[in-house]
Structure 1
Amino acid sequence: MDEARLYLGATIMLVEDDIELAEMIQSRLEQEGFKVVHEENGLLAATRIQTLQPHLVILDLMLPGLDGFGVCREVRPHYHGPILMLTARGDDPDQIEGLQSGADDYVAKPVHPKVLIARIEALLRRYDQHGPVPSRRIEHGPLAMDATQREVTMGGHKIDLTTAEFDLLWYLSERPGQVLSRDQIYRELYDTKYDGYDRAVDVYVSRIRAKIGGKDEERVVLKTVRGVGYLLAVKESAS
């Protein structure tokens, strides 16, 4: 089955002030069966994203009213769908700041339609709550994750995670105590090869750690194993 058909009718909010580029992207996405809502102004987009709650947002960086970083930071507490950011080619600082602002992925300009569609489908597939999940709930000490509701709590307190953060933490939580390399994470979680340069997972780990904590004396800590990868360390409670 054509992958795009799985998401036939999904609403995408396209935030782009380059009219020619926006028309090209909108036309191609509509050919694939998506419903596209276009907005040029960052301030207006921030309001419309929260009101419309689209299935996915494509967000340019350079926008009138409010730039893409600002839009991302403003909507993240109220919008939990995937955000795909458009960045300048090879502009690593923009990519990192975009991810730190709450974006789930990025595509470099000039945008190749096939690459854009593949990224959109991957994000929608990861965000789909009805996909196959071996277990719907995971608990490690104070950390609890519910895949059906896509909710995370730490010590009973709700933790707000983006789509990408939730997926990565769930993946690590299914394999506590295992050191997982970047190659393995990209291959098994994102169904792609790690190119040696992508910083997305590094940023996700940093953001997750900041939200759930991560000191060595805590019972659950997300660790970076230098030169190897990451692991979720879970200490047994004292009895």
Structure 2
Amino acid sequence: MTIRTETVHEGVRLLTMDRPHRRNALDAADYQALATAIDAADDDPDVRVSVVTGAGGVFTSGNDIENFQDRTEGVGAGMVLLRALVCARKPIIAAVEGFAIGIGTTMLLHCDFAFAGRATRFRVPFVPLGLCPEGGSSYLLPQVAGLKRATELLMLGDEFDADCAAEAGLINRVVPDGDALEVALERAARLAAAPAESVELTKMLLRRPLRDAVLGTLDVEAVHFGRRRQSEEAQAAFAGFMRR
């Protein structure tokens, strides 16, 4: 089991990406499992809020590159997770430590709260890998970070720190290393104690103006991402990454 689920407080479901030997990189099975866990939390009347984190001091190093090398593998698994995040009715909070790479960064755009340890490093290396933005980031990141900053992060694909992530609107706050989960669980407990319908309605009203545009962007990005992943340029970049 690479996605662990547990109820840690009344009304709070903790979802942990647990694949430390791959720095919690996600393959098709992991995407499906995490999406299923998010959907299950949404459908469980005893759950008020979900917290997503990673085991071993790492959030996630993104998509498993070995999985990307399989040209027969479609983009469906990642889309299942992204749609689950976009369509979730109940709040989702991210507790981020270590690394948040690729979808590990873009999924934060769909979380209602996100807290990161100071030493966390973020990166959206789509262009260096011969790919293009995913996760609705081509729409949402300019909304929260501004067009110039979003262009810099997505087009150059450089690593950036937690302070930059906060300035770009990807996280709520930088916290001391090792404290992200504690802070996330404290916020989750507060939300779980609030009137559930009021919380869900507030999330719906905040997200409603963006939801259709985000879902449409996911579809457009997926078409181009799938084509780029099949390209010789991208496959060469994946092979180079695996030789490191």
The TM-score with structure 1 as length reference comes to 0.36
Which structure has greater strand proportion? 1
The TM-score with structure 2 as length reference comes to 0.35
Bigger radius of gyration among the two: 1
Which structure has greater helix proportion? 2
